[in-house]
Structure 1
Amino acid sequence: MKRSDRLYALIQILKDGRLHRAEDMARDLGVSIRTIYRDMDTLAASGVPVEGERGVGYSARAAITLPPLNLTENELEALHLGLAAVGNAVDGDMRAAAESLSAKIDAVLPEDRHGAPKSFGFAVYPFADAAQGFRYLAPIRAAIRNRQKLRLGMQDGSACDVRPLKLDYWGRVWTCLVWNETTDQFETLRADQIETLAILPGLFVDEPGKRLEDYQLALTGG
């Protein structure tokens, strides 16, 4: 069972408001008691109203729940743009609500994304820093679709000419897989670390060794 599915199953168990022992939940879900302890800590940190302690049991206070949702990457982008805007609000209660909601999303996102960074997220990074990457998503997406080369200036002062191949989402941080013509290799660049973006004239065409499928074949050892 995926971690996100297990966390959701635990919420379903706990929402009856009764006390549930970690041993029983571990047996029902086929995991260790230590895993249940970690999951309880994750749920509590994410704002789920879990009460209890190790060796005694856990329960959940009444809270508003939503049915499971399947979101596209564009919908996730829109959601986090909104959270970034609210997170920069002066109103302390609204900022706290945005941080809590972000943490809840963190808790149920898939974690099997080829070693995706564990620490990315609005719950860790300031909202302004995380929102930095959103401003370039639209032109990057258009460049991928239109096969346009980009010149990127990065926060570390470096610059590169790239062929953008794929946008990906790694738990609140968006990245772009590129063929970097400056270093002559595939690279994954974080969108929030891009300082400047310029569209270069002319279009690129597929060349063996520089295509998305070449990168994917290399990952699988093909």
Structure 2
Amino acid sequence: MRRADRLMQLVQILRDGTLHRAQDLAQAVDVSLRTIYRDMETLAASGVPISGERGIGYRVTAAITLPPLNLTLTEVEALHLGLSAVGAADDAELAQAARQLLAKLDAVMPEKPGDSAAVHGFAIYPFAEATRGFQHLPRMRQAIRTRQKLELTAQGEARIVRPLELDYWGRLWTCVVWCEKRRDFDVIRVDRITALRVLPSLFVGEQGKTLADYRQQRG
């Protein structure tokens, strides 16, 4: 058995929360006591909350923790899409776990300094609404890269915009745009977009309509 497989098997045994003697663990995975001691040290160093010592036994004392991760916006997008799919599943236990995981993600995601008022008070939105919003993200991201205009409808209003930047605030996705209809910058909540179409027409970085202009305007 590969070491990685053995460690996973040990976690599965320990996750019941009861005390397991090292000798019993060794017999369960067919290794020596010395190997079990090393494996317990490895699991503890990896973030698994193991309590115990040689001669007494071992148990997992709390939920498994992970080391800090640095995620890109695209990785966060992929994580949200996956959680949305699971959250909408028929398996009630998995759906609840997905909601809990999203709540944990929401709790640790940073907000941009000075802009917290823009999203203050927004709760995690239902998975059905989240899924509708997330489906637009790939096309919006591609339109930003290729500088293509978007025709979208949000809150019952249809307009043509120049997408400039996608942001994730720890609670929701937004897109900074230059609105052709309003002749001004706007920040659109992606979850409120009900229809979106990428237009063939391209846009250039005209003065007063670029992301740099938006940032300078916001100060």
TM-score of Structure 1 vs Structure 2, range by shorter chain: 0.5 to 0.7
The one-letter code sitting in structure 2 at the alignment partner of 1:83 is: L
- Match in the other structure for 1:189: 188
Shift of 1:64: 0.6
Aligned residues: 157
By relative contact order (CA 8 Å, sep 6+), the higher-ranking structure is 1
Match of 1:64 in 2: 64
- Equivalent residue number for residue 131 of structure 2: 131
CA distance in structure 2 between the partners assigned to 1:83 and 1:77 by the alignment: 10
SS of aligned partner of 1:175: strand
Residues 130 and 172, structure 1, Cα contact 8 Å, conserved in 2: no
Matched, 1:158 2:160: no
Cα distance in 2, alignment partners of residues 107 and 195 from structure 1: 27
Structure-to-structure mapping, 1:26-105, within 5 angstroms:
62-105=62-105
- After the TM superposition, which segments of 4 or more aligned residues of structure 1 sit over 3 Å from their partners? 118-121
Per-residue CA distance 1:26-73 (angstroms, 9 max, x = gap): xxxxxxxxxxxxxxxxxxxxxxxxxxxxxxxxxxx5221100000000
One-letter identity of the residue aligned with 2:185: F
Aligned equivalent of 1:117: 119
TM-score by length of 2: 0.68
Contact (CA 8 Å) 1:167, 1:177: kept in 2 or not?
yes
1:147 has 2:147 as partner: yes
State the identity %: 55
CA distance in 2, matches of 1:106, 1:136: 20
CA shift, 1:120, in A, is: 3.6
Take 1:129 and 1:163, find their aligned partners in 2: how far apart are those partners? Answer: 24
Over 3 Å counting, the alpha-carbon distance change for 1:70 and 1:168 in structure 2 is same
Q: Over residues 182-215 of structure 1, what are the superposed CA-to-partner deviations in whole Å (9 max), with x where a residue is unaligned? A: 0000000111111111222321111111110001
Contact 1:80 1:172 in 2 (8 A): no
- Indicate the SS of the match to 2:64: coil
* Worse overlay, 169-178 or 183-192: 169-178
> In the alignment, is the contact (CA less than 8 A) between 2:108 and 2:170 conserved in 1?
no
1:97-149 CA deviation, whole Å, 9 max, x = no partner? 1111111112211134422413445xx32111112111111111111111111
Q: Does residue 171 of the first structure (1) align with residue 173 of the second (2)?
A: no
Deviations 1:144-194 (A, max 9, x none): 11111111112x221111011011112242111000010000000111111
TM-score normalised according to structure 1 size? 0.67
Could you tell me which amino acid in structure 1 is paired with residue 95 of structure 2?
R
Partner residue of 1:8? none
Task: Determine the C-alpha separation between the residues in 2 that align with 1:191 and 1:165.
Answer: 13
- Partner secondary structure for residue 94 of structure 1: helix
Distance in 2 of aligned mates of 1:178 and 1:153: 13
Residue identity opposite 1:193 in structure 2: R
Mean CA deviation greater in 109-118 or 177-186? 109-118
Contact 2:151 2:196 survives alignment (8 Å): yes
The residue type equivalent to 2:193 in the other structure is I
